[in-house]
Amino acid sequence: MHIVAFATGNPRKAEEVRSILRSYDIDVEVVKVRKIEIQDDSIERIAAFSARILARRIGKPLVVEDTGLFIDALKGFPGPYSAYVYRTIGLKGVLKLMEGVEDRHATFVCVVAYCEPGYRPIVFEGRVRGRIADEARGSFGWGYDPIFEPDGYNKTYAEMGVYKNEVSHRAEAFRKFANWYIESKRV
């Protein structure tokens, strides 16, 4: 089993990442450092910047992840501001913004940034297209899970349970990372 440090304060996220990486024989050691988030329109730059600073601070390689929900009809909002929007107007507020909106397409984007102290971060991206549900559904999820229906399923992430980890934006990004990590002989 290979252990990689993962900076997150979100236990649900850590649980998902563990389940995604299990088949690669990689586990994560959760590092509870305060994520340093620069304000930027690109979640890739946010994750990369944070990974670089934190790797230097803890003195070992680590992984940082940043996620955003980009809604087409809102020109990509909340995107990099997804956490702030969730904390403030919440799911109700987002559904209100989408009231009467026909085009409900959205993309969940996850960026994983891996960094060794003193080196440039390497990033991996996962994207899932889907739509914003008309109302919140499902009780398994967290964050925006109850209002996001990935394309090809008539269920929200929150209705899919652990199956979310087979198809999610996070699964795609972390699988790319895991393949690279193993191939580049960091294990």
Provide the minimum distance between the beta carbon of 142 and ligand IMP in the complex, in angstroms, as a whole number: 6
**10 scored as a contact of ligand IMP (CB under 6 A):** yes
* Cα–Cα distance measured from residue 169 to residue 127, given in angstroms and rounded to the nearest whole number: 5
User: Which has the closest alpha carbon to 133: 116, 153, 114, 113?
Assistant: 153
Single out the residue of 67, 107, 156, 165 in contact with ligand IMP (rule: CB under 6 A).
67
Q: Are 111 and 44 in contact (CB under 8 A)?
A: yes
Provide the minimum distance between the beta carbon of 143 and ligand IMP in the complex, in angstroms, as a whole number: 2
Q: Output 24 or 86, the one with its CB closest to ligand IMP.
A: 86
**24 scored as a contact of ligand IMP (CB under 6 A):** no
Angle, helices 169-183/11-21, rounded to nearest 10 degrees: 50
Single out the residue of 144, 174, 177, 181 in contact with ligand IMP (rule: CB under 6 A).
144
Strand partners, 132: 148
**107 scored as a contact of ligand IMP (CB under 6 A):** no
Residues 6+ apart with CB under 8 A from 90: none
* Cα–Cα distance measured from residue 2 to residue 56, given in angstroms and rounded to the nearest whole number: 21
**182 scored as a contact of ligand IMP (CB under 6 A):** no
Provide the minimum distance between the beta carbon of 67 and ligand IMP in the complex, in angstroms, as a whole number: 4
The H or E element that residue 104 is part of is none
Single out the residue of 82, 107, 156, 165 in contact with ligand IMP (rule: CB under 6 A).
82
Residues that bind ligand IMP (CB under 6 A): 10, 66-67, 82-83, 86, 143-145, 157, 168, 170
